[in-house]
Amino acid sequence: MIDPSYVALGFGVGLLVGMTGVGGGSLMTPLLILLFGVHPSTAVGTDLLYAASTKTAGSVVHGWSRNVHWPAVFRLACGSIPASALTLFVLWKLDLKSDTERSLVNLVLCLALMLTAISLIFRKSIAERYRGALAQINDRTIAFATVLTGTVLGVLVSISSVGAGAVGVTVLLLLYPRLPMAAIVGTDIAHAVPLTMVAGAGHWAVGSVDWTLMCVLLMGSVPGIILGSYSAARVPETVLRLILASVLFVVSGKIAFEEFSLSSAIVTALAWSNGH
């Protein structure tokens, strides 16, 4: 049976993605964990393949419209794909237990959500302050910085499924100031496709993907993205970014609080058992 609450979640996240261009992993993963009690690893793995499915269509549209800077996509992928594969291999070799794995995912997820929220709020001011100086940097340095950015995104996305959207767009704005905004967004989406596919395949290999849940989420997200894209021009972008950033701060704080409470409870229980 199809749970309408999951369809509604997919629709709501799709609506925000259509309006702002970000928010997929930033909202889907933490909401699956907080509202529906999905294990963090399953939430991350499912969201990665969910993102790969939705962003494939977006990259095709942007590519057809010539809104993708393919050299930047290649440079990002040169860093992110190996970093993603290595991160997943390390996690597999560590063979973390359930509670430890949950804590690691939650910790990286909080960090990625904070970075995403900060980049949403200060994207414009950061770009205006540093774009002029970065425009004077030679191509080799820009290429190296792009690969390094891809490496960081590969680690973040593989563990938390968050970071490829707002963080990637902010860095691309700084490194490629001559590109129009449409090309920045298209480049970020095109790079997210192979990254989420590789990271999602790694989570699938270790059994961290719920295919039924992913299909139900897609049922809601497709019409949500269409409606959000149609409504984007009618809602001020600044308002949308601030709302989304505020939600991300609240969600990351909630995850951090619950993780701290759980850790404190475990420590207290261990101390009590040792004393008796």
pLDDT tens for each residue of 168-203: 877 888 888 788 877 887 888 888 889 989 998 888
Q: What is the pLDDT of residue 22?
A: 63
Which comes out higher in pLDDT, residue 65 or 86?
86
Instruction: Give the per-residue pLDDT at 188.
Output: 84
**Tokens read off for 191:** 């790079």
Task: Tell me which range, 38-47, 79-88, 253-262, is most confidently predicted by mean pLDDT.
Answer: 79-88
Number of domains in the chain: 1
Report the pLDDT value the prediction gives residue 79, as an integer from 0 to 100. Answer: 95
Determine contact, residues 109/162, Cβ cutoff 8 Å.
Answer: yes
- E strand or H helix that includes residue 248: helix 237-275
pLDDT digits (tens, 9 = 90+) for 21-72: 566 667 788 888 887 888 888 888 888 888 887 777 777 777 777 878 899 9
Longest dimension (CA), the chain: 69
Confidence check: pLDDT of 86 > 90: yes
Burial (0-12, 13-18, 19+ Cβ within 10 Å), 269: exposed
Query: pLDDT digit string (tens) for 203-255?
Result: 888 778 888 888 888 888 878 777 766 665 566 666 666 777 777 777 777 77
* pLDDT confidence of residue 21: 59
Residue 81 banded pLDDT, cuts 50, 70, 90: very high
Closest CA relative to residue 21, chosen from 186, 223, 239: 186
pLDDT of residue 72: 93
> What is the pTM assigned to this prediction?
0.76
Residue 266: the pLDDT is 45
Q: What size, in residues, is the chain?
A: 276
Instruction: Write out the two tokens for 276.
Output: 């008796």
Q: Is the pLDDT of residue 163 over 80?
A: no
Give me the pLDDT at residue 267, please.
46
Question: What pLDDT score was predicted for residue 265?
Answer: 44
Confidence grade of residue 270 (pLDDT, cut at 50, 70, 90): very low
Given a cut of 90, whether residue 146 has pLDDT beyond it is yes
Handedness of CA 88, 206, 196, 227 (dihedral sign): negative
For 93-124, the pLDDT digits (tens) are 776 556 666 677 777 777 777 777 777 777 77
Residue 205 structural domain: 4-275
